[in-house]
Amino acid sequence: MNRLFITSGLVLASFLSGQAQSCCIKKAKCDGLVAFASDKAFKDAHLAPEPLDYKAESGKMITYNTPDGKTANAFQVKSVSKTNKVVYVFHEWWGLNDYIKRETEALQKELGNVDVYALDLYDGKIASSPDSAGKYMMGMKPERAASIIKGLVSLTSKNELSVPTEIATIGWCMGGSWSFQASLLAGSDVKACVMYYGFPEKDVEKLKGLKTEVLYIQALQDGFISKEDVTTFLGQLKSADKKVTLKQYEAVHAFANPSNPEYDKVASADAKSVSMAFIRKGLRIK
């Protein structure tokens, strides 16, 4: 079953290693848990979402079991036709709000023959301010997040077509990092991984376990993720014989986020076009 992990956000706590890594504090030292979300520049660059009165057209909330003996929630948008393609959407640090639900439905319409799931990594909590978003993000247990992903992987591994799974992943900043980590979790089923200015994985041994091609979208004016870290990351992937494509834009961090005061509409549209083409190729979507 094709699964597209779309992950959105701003800071990643590396859930496989249990070590936090910052994409939001410039030149930060990332040993252990660090309160990234208190950084003023980070807050200024990411405005709180405006209230949105959104009514789902075809999506609905579902509950499923997770390996840790609990249950998790997701917003599900099913394809009209039977499919082995599934899209996983990972919300940004605000939580699974109406904006994510709206984007999930829009994504399903654009890609067509796919089932789309927006996972709830906060177990029902939704932030309305940078302070609460930072609190929820930092309180997200790495082990719990991994269990939420694995639970949905198990749920969607059984499709009506009874054919092998294929996966693509995509995400922005924290989401870009989750996109990569989710690709590691899903293993050989992954066919494409898109990282929008995500914080690079630094564990070389983990990089060796990647089974897919990576598209890294870099903001050259990024004040939070250094060019050196990106260069090292991509170099390590290539050294591990992994295929990687780099797409660069003269734009700031989170340039594709409409709530960013420096949102770049032109660069965002081009990056989306490149990403969708990459995903369609990986998932063999016409």
Helix (H, G, I), strand (E, B) or coil at 182: helix
pLDDT of residue 43: 67
Q: Give the pLDDT confidence of 143-172 residue by residue, as tens digits.
A: 898 899 899 888 888 888 889 878 888 888
What is the tens place of the pLDDT at every residue in 207-238? 999 999 999 999 999 988 889 999 999 999 99
CATH (domain of 181): 3.40.50.1820
Name the average pLDDT for the chain.
82
In contact, 271 and 264? CB cutoff 8 Å: no
Residue 160 belongs to domain spanning: 2-283
Pairing of strands 12-14, 19-21: antiparallel
| pTM for the model | 0.82
Q: Is the pLDDT at 122 greater than 50, yes or no?
A: yes
Work out the average pLDDT over 79-102.
87
What are the two backbone dihedrals, phi and then psi, of residue 171, each rounded to the nearest 5 degrees? -175, 165
Model confidence pLDDT, tens digit, residues 251-263: 998 898 777 778 8
| 90 φ/ψ angles, rounded to the nearest 5 degrees | -105, 120
In tens, the pLDDT along 23-67 reads 333 333 333 334 456 667 776 667 777 888 889 999 999 999 999
Task: Determine how β-strand 71-77 pairs with β-strand 60-65.
Answer: antiparallel
Q: Binning pLDDT at 50, 70 and 90, where does residue 241 land?
A: very high
Q: How many domains does the chain have?
A: 1
